[in-house]
Amino acid sequence: MSGARERLTDGLYGLGWATVKKLPEPVSVALGRGIADTVWKRRGSSVLRLESNLARVVPDAGPERLAELSRAGMRSYMRYWMESFRLPAWSKERVGDGVEVQEVHRLTDALDAGRGVVLALPHLANWDLAGAWVTTALGVPFTTVAERLKPETLYDRFVAYRESLGMEVLPHEGGSAFGTLARRLRAGGLVCLVADRDLSASGTEVKFFGDTARMPGGPALLAQQTGAVLLPVTLWYDDSPVMRARVHPPVDVPETGTRAEKTSVMTQALADAFATGIAEHPEDWHMLQRLWLDDLEPRQETS
C-alpha cells in the first residue's frame, strides 16, 4: 500500500470514528444500509468473493438466492462497522442491552471455578460488541490479539479503540503473544480469539462445509498447555437492535494422541461449531476473503 493510500485509509477510518458515533442511531443505521447497498450493486471483488463463499455454505442456493444473501451480508457487515464506530460512545446500559447470550453459564461457571477460558469465534456479526459486553455486562477483562494493519497508524487506532472497550490487545506477530496468553489463562483469565481463518503454513487443516480450509491451532494449543476451557461462540443478528450469541459446549482435550493430533481434533470441533452457527445465519458471516484451499490454488491453464 502506497504512503498516500495508507494516509487516505487511515483518514477515512478516523473520520468514521469521529463522526458516526455522533449520529443518532436511526441515522447511522440508515447510513450503513445505504453504503452496503451501494457497494453491493457495484459487484466488486469483495461482493463476488462473499457470494462464492456463501455458495459453499448454502450449496442449493441459486443465483437469485445468493444475490439476496450477499446483499444481506453486506448490510450485516456495514452494521458491524456502524456499531463499532459508535461503540465507544455507548453507555454500559446500552452495551448490556445490546447483546443476549444463550448458555452464558458455560463461560461464567468456568471463570467462577478459577479456570482460564478461551473463547473462539468466527467472523460472525459483531465480535467487538460481544467483547464489550463481556467487559461491561460481566465485568470480566480479557486478552486478545490483533493482526498488524497497514498503515501502522490504523493499527494503532484499532488497538486504542479495543483497549478503550476494556480489552488487552497483543500484536499477532512477534512470537510473544502465545506466551502472554498462556500466562493469562494459567492465572484464571479470559482469552478471546477470532479463529475461522488462518492462511499461514502453520494453520491446521479442517473440513469445513465439505472442503478443506485452514484455521488457527492456537486456541486448541492454549487449552492443552494451560488446562483452560475451550468454548466456541457464535453470533448473529435478527430484525431487532439486539445481537444474539450462543456459547457452545466445551471442546475437550482428547485423552490420547500427539500434540498435533489433539490440535487437529480440537480445531475440527471448533470448525464444526462455527459451521453450525454460520449455516443458521449465513448472511452474518463476514468472510469477504478467500478461505478454502481450493480457492487459493492457482488455476491450471487449459490448452
Rounded distance, CA 54 to CA 62, Å? 11
Indicate whether 249 pLDDT > 80.
yes
Poorest-confidence range of 106-115, 158-167, 212-221?
158-167
Secondary structure letter of residue 238 according to DSSP: -
Grouping H, G, I as helix, E, B as strand and the rest as coil, residue 271 is: helix
- What is the average pLDDT across 122-151? 88
pLDDT for the residue numbered 4: 58
Indicate whether 261 pLDDT > 70.
yes
Confidence band for 300, pLDDT divided at 50, 70 and 90: very low
Rounded distance, CA 125 to CA 215, Å? 19
Query: Among residues 170, 112, 104, 172, which one has the least CA distance to residue 142?
Result: 170
pLDDT, greater one: 89 or 271: 271
- What is the average pLDDT across 218-234? 97
pLDDT for the residue numbered 55: 97
Query: Which three cell numbers, joined as nine digits, stand for 257?
Result: 494422541
Confidence band for 267, pLDDT divided at 50, 70 and 90: very high
Query: Among residues 173, 112, 103, which one has the least CA distance to residue 145?
Result: 173
- What is the average pLDDT across 250-263? 97
Poorest-confidence range of 20-29, 202-211, 237-246?
20-29
Query: Which three cell numbers, joined as nine digits, stand for 244?
Result: 444474539
- Looking at the chain, the whole-number percentage of residues with pLDDT higher than 90 is 72
CA dihedral 19, 22, 26, 27 (to 10 degrees): -40
